[in-house]
Structure 1
Amino acid sequence: MNDSVAAVIHLHSKSFSLASRLLPAGARHEVVALYAWCRRADDAVDLSDDPPASLARLESELDAVYSGQPGDDPILRAFARLVERRTLPRHYPRELLAGMAMDLQPDLYPDDATLALYCYRVAGVVGLMMCHVMGLADDDALPRAAQLGMAMQLTNICRDVGEDWARGRLYLPYQSLGFGDEVQVRAALTRPIEADLRARLPQQVRAALAQADAYYRAGMAGIPALDWRCGLAVRSAARIYRGIGAALARQDYQPLAGRAYLSGRGKAWQVLVALLGQLSGGAARQAVTRPPGRLVEFGAQLCRPAG
């Protein structure tokens, strides 16, 4: 693994970096390559002076990756090797870029169903790509992997309301926040968050975290389809992200009261609980894993988690 590729995960996500260390070495290197490409794409759009042009370049790079000509960029080369080794469907990274395109306008979400599509595109497909890296014993677990990614994205959305607002973005369903249409939302986004909206935020954050919890329950039910070490890493990551939601609950679901986070000790505790869950959950034997044999597209199944 090229050092510049591995450095991306350590720089951008301490939680993800911690969970990745629990993976077996082969899977860990490939997970880092996948994360590095996702992070590179996200930064290329978010930090660009011309986001549409950057997104178009990313789409061209993806074409080059899937044609076996990734060029000299170490992250693209590592991702291309991953695409070939793990037969990664092109649909998933294309959907990720489509999710980034939704941020350029930026899109607004009137209800839970429209927000779910965004969460599928920017996070659900990452869970699905991870299944190709780790392998699965049962393709029926694939939708659960997408739901676990969607749960984590909803948690991030709830935590980052203030930061997103400052960037002119709102991801929480605006109808539930009392806005009548997009015109009202876009006008409000040009001003600091007003007192009446601040007072309404906790109720909507509580509802979004309840939806995230339903996704977490559905997603974690698919963990036995992974081998034991991969299952431990995924279970740990899920518990760490879910802990951010618990931290929000402790501040009465008010995201503007301070950035909710888990301390290092809190993360270590969640890893320990995840380990106990693996040991007690009948997942102690090595699962027989293989590349997934089907594609999971967005649909009603992903909007309505089944525990």
Structure 2
Amino acid sequence: MKDRAALVSNARQSILKGSKSFAAASHLFDRETRERVWLLYAWCRRCDDIVDAQDHGGALGDQSGAAERLQAVREKTMLAFAGKPAGDPAFDALGLVARETGLALDMAEAVIEGFALDAADWQPHSEGDLMRYCWHVAGAVGVMMAVVMGVSPNDEDTLDRACDLGLAFQLANIARDIEEDDAAERCYIPMDWLVDEDIPPGEQMKPRYRPALTRIVARMCHSAHIYECSARIGAARLKGRQRWAILAAAGIYGEIAREVARRGDHAWDHRTVVSNARKVGFIGKAAWAAMRPVPRSCIAAASQRPFSRADLIALSRREPGGIVAT
């Protein structure tokens, strides 16, 4: 197994390549938290890449054998929590950060269930299905990140808020990447939403449906805003530099959703990104926000969140009815 410095170095390279937005915000953490966040991110990124046969995101590879790749992820993750070498630095990184912070196997398994949904080639039928997916691939990651930052596993409300930040991030990503997902023959828009807008399955990117798609995405971006506001309540309970980093990340990712909504019918003419200059601006705004109370408007918006973490966990424990194979 590699030593800690080597694992941290590998994890840093992973986040720099895989998520420029989160990488920028992560540098605001104190060194210990920053390194632990990188270690956890490296595992998340590597799991996603293995299951989707890709390299730090990007184009999907050959999707045959997805079930076998998913099983490899499960086995390597179990080795990591058992304190054994996994033969992959990203999984060894997970084992290291788990030993340092008290992350538990069931937390990681909640994340892996999201990869399992992708491996099964599915599409959500309802809003609940969509949010269940977002819980697994991002909300559960938010919970793990909170524990890495020192939040007690028993502090349920703060963990709920951490989950909500992950949900906001994922909804922003889905809204931005609809065209890319369509090219990869994936769709994360609930079938119910498509039916409501009279969009036939698989035709959401056709020009004649662009106004209807824009309405759907506006709805998604509004939900992202609600969950972002909820997350800001939890961020207020973190230590100073942690609060600054989380508010910066929330602002940067929130801007992705806001920009997609602002572009309307032109949201997918080219990929929505937040420039380095604008990231610096959000980092500055976050520094000010970290010293201020949570705005009342945010508290009011947070009260409107349609699903809580408990709701999504309950949905996940049901039979997988409502998931539509594509």
Q: TM-score range by the shorter chain?
A: 0.7 to 0.9
Q: CA deviation at 1:114?
A: 0.9
Contact conserved, 2:178 with 2:187, CA < 8 A, in 1?
Answer: yes
1:135 paired to 2:150: yes
Aligned partner of 2:227 in structure 1 is 215
1:206 paired to 2:218: yes
Of residues 141, 164, 169, the one that matches 1:152 is 169
TM-score (norm 1): 0.86
Of residues 107, 129, 141, the one that matches 1:126 is 141
Aligned partner of 1:112 in structure 2 is 127
CA distance in 1, matches of 2:93, 2:257: 33
Q: CA deviation at 1:179?
A: 7.1
Q: SS of the counterpart of 2:187?
A: coil
Give structure 2 stretches of 5+ with no counterpart.
54-60, 295-307, 315-326
Of residues 79, 86, 106, the one that matches 1:71 is 86
Give a deviation string over 1:14-33, Cα, whole Å, max 9, x none: 11110110000001111000
1:7 paired to 2:13: yes
AA aligned opposite 2:45? R
Contact conserved, 1:98 with 1:121, CA < 8 A, in 2?
Answer: yes
Q: SS of the counterpart of 2:122?
A: coil
AA aligned opposite 2:89? P
CA distance in 2, matches of 1:271, 1:57: 38
CA distance in 2, matches of 1:158, 1:72: 35
Q: CA deviation at 1:139?
A: 4.1
Q: After superposition, where does 1:1-307 map in structure 2 within 5 Å?
A: 1-2=5-6, 3-47=9-53, 49=62, 50-136=65-151, 138-178=155-195, 185=201, 188=202, 193-252=205-264, 254-281=266-293, 298-300=309-311
Contact conserved, 2:135 with 2:309, CA < 8 A, in 1?
Answer: yes
Contact conserved, 1:127 with 1:148, CA < 8 A, in 2?
Answer: yes
Q: SS of the counterpart of 2:259?
A: helix
Q: CA deviation at 1:161?
A: 0.3
CA distance in 1, matches of 2:265, 2:149: 35
Aligned partner of 2:303 in structure 1 is none
Contact conserved, 1:159 with 1:260, CA < 8 A, in 2?
Answer: yes
AA aligned opposite 1:37? W
CA distance in 2, matches of 1:141, 1:120: 15
- How many residue pairs get aligned? The number is 284
AA aligned opposite 1:147? D
Aligned partner of 1:291 in structure 2 is none
Residues 141 and 258 of structure 1: CA distance in aligned 2, closer, same or farther (over 3 Å): same
Contact conserved, 2:134 with 2:170, CA < 8 A, in 1?
Answer: yes
Contact conserved, 1:124 with 1:145, CA < 8 A, in 2?
Answer: yes
AA aligned opposite 1:146? C
Q: Which sits farther off after the overlay, 128-137 or 55-64?
A: 128-137
Q: SS of the counterpart of 1:225?
A: coil
Please provide the CA RMSD for this pair. 2.4
Q: CA deviation at 1:127?
A: 0.6
CA distance in 2, matches of 1:162, 1:35: 25
Contact conserved, 1:116 with 1:150, CA < 8 A, in 2?
Answer: yes
Residues 298 and 140 of structure 1: CA distance in aligned 2, closer, same or farther (over 3 Å): closer
CA distance in 2, matches of 1:169, 1:46: 12
Residues 302 and 59 of structure 1: CA distance in aligned 2, closer, same or farther (over 3 Å): closer
CA distance in 2, matches of 1:34, 1:229: 18
Residues 205 and 14 of structure 1: CA distance in aligned 2, closer, same or farther (over 3 Å): same
Residues 233 and 72 of structure 1: CA distance in aligned 2, closer, same or farther (over 3 Å): same
Q: CA deviation at 1:196?
A: 3.1
Q: CA deviation at 1:64?
A: 1.0
Identity %: 31
Aligned partner of 1:293 in structure 2 is none
Residues 59 and 302 of structure 1: CA distance in aligned 2, closer, same or farther (over 3 Å): closer
Q: Which sits farther off after the overlay, 163-172 or 58-67?
A: 58-67
Q: Which sits farther off after the overlay, 143-152 or 49-58?
A: 49-58
Contact conserved, 1:177 with 1:197, CA < 8 A, in 2?
Answer: no
Give a deviation string over 1:122-158, Cα, whole Å, max 9, x none: 0001110011110137542110110110010000000
CA distance in 2, matches of 1:110, 1:253: 24
CA distance in 2, matches of 1:88, 1:103: 24
CA distance in 2, matches of 1:108, 1:299: 22
